[in-house]
Structures are given as structure tokens and as C-alpha cells.
Structure 1
């Protein structure tokens, strides 16, 4: 069985992963990529933590994507608003189609001989192996 190969594998579909995917599309449009996301949703930290009162501790005018400025009037934003902002960016720029939800990455190993990463993840109890020329870790909390 040969592993599926992409030019760039991004781990995590939160703020950093969506930002990385946008920049990759913008600056390297011929490169293929996938985002492996352990959860079933876009948003990373802002999808994971949903307790009452969660909000940013940094102003969103600074934290937001330069390619999609924050337009909400609340600069210290609620978690729900931040999650929606990340989801909307993923949809607006066609990033969601490259996200593979439910892929919990278990290992990554580099082969100098093949000049590629082998990334192993678990999906619904099954092992999935993919390879990439570049591995970009944008993961946050591990639960």
C-alpha cells in the first residue's frame, strides 16, 4: 500500500493552521496540501474550550489574519465569535476542502533518503499513513 502524498501537511485547523493554509495557497498556488485535524470541527482552541465567559486575552485586531481583518466591534472577543471568524475564513478561502477531520496524528518520521515525512494518524480506529515533503505543526492542546 502506498501512502497518499502532498507537498505540505499541516497539523491543526485552528487559527494557525488556517493561516498557514491561506499563505500556502497565496504564495505557492501549485503546491498540494492537506490539514489533519483531530477534532471534527474548525477552530482549534476556540472550538475545544466552550465554557461560559471564554474570550481572547489579546485584542483581535492584532490576533486576526492580515488577509481577513477582524471587523467585530469587540476587540477582546468571545470564544464563539473567534470560532466563527476562523470557520468563515476557512470557508471564504476554500480551505475547508483540504481539511481531513478526525485524523489524530500519532507519529511523524523523516526519511532523508526519500526526502519526505511519513505521518501516521488514527481515524475511526484505523491507521492512516500519508507522506509530505514539508510538515507544518500548528497543533495546540492535546486532550
Structure 2
């Protein structure tokens, strides 16, 4: 079975050719089936199903060369999702201005990410109709993800 790194090396040139970002490659087991999940996105976000289909087809062709080394699996090329986890500083910086969910050991905040400077993020939250800015130290963030504002 090809490992995640090897699959990433197959996907990266496809993404570069199409002007896309590779978000994540995972092997997961769902309902007893091995699933190779490849998450991609456009730099500006909002990838469409036609693009996902094209990448699926191109990657499938490349993976066919490794059939002997692969278990029976399903290939899933998808977007990272509207509520994807922000995994590193670059992704957090790119999310400035967007609605986020931030978990700390003491609380959970949902609001607009206003800034990320040094080791501190500032989130504007709504408390009973009043907007309040909350500064959160990077070391206190257990998880930060994009959120859908309802």
C-alpha cells in the first residue's frame, strides 16, 4: 500500500498544474472499506465539483500504475469542508477576516478572526448583541477551525 507521503507526491503535480492547493491525504476506513481521501482547494476557496472530478480522474490514472501495491480501495477527492481545521500559522493567517471557532482549555469562542500577530490571535465575538474583542495566546489554542455563521 502506498503511504500518504508517496500519494502526496503523486497529487502535488496535478494540483500545481491546475492551480490548486493540496490540503490533506488520508487513508480512512469507512463502513468496512478502505478510502483514500484527498482534500484539495482553490487558493481563494470554493472548489467546484467539476474540478474535483478532473483531479479524481487524473489521480486515478496515476494510481492505476500502483495497483499491485494497493489494497482494494475507493478514491475520494473532496474539498476540505466549510469547517476545516486550521492546522498551522499560514492557514490561520489566511483565515483573517473569516468566521472561526476557537477552543481553549477554558472556553470556546466563535467570531470573526481579526488578526494574528506574534503569538496572539484576536477574535471579535458577539455577546448578547454587543461585539467584544478577545485576545487568545497561541499556546492556549487547543483547536481552531473555520465556522459557518448561522
TM-score range, shorter chain: under 0.3
Task: Pick the structure with more strand per residue.
Answer: 2
Higher relative contact order (CA 8 A, sep 6+): 1
If the length of structure 1 is used for normalisation, what is the TM-score?
0.24
If the length of structure 2 is used for normalisation, what is the TM-score?
0.23
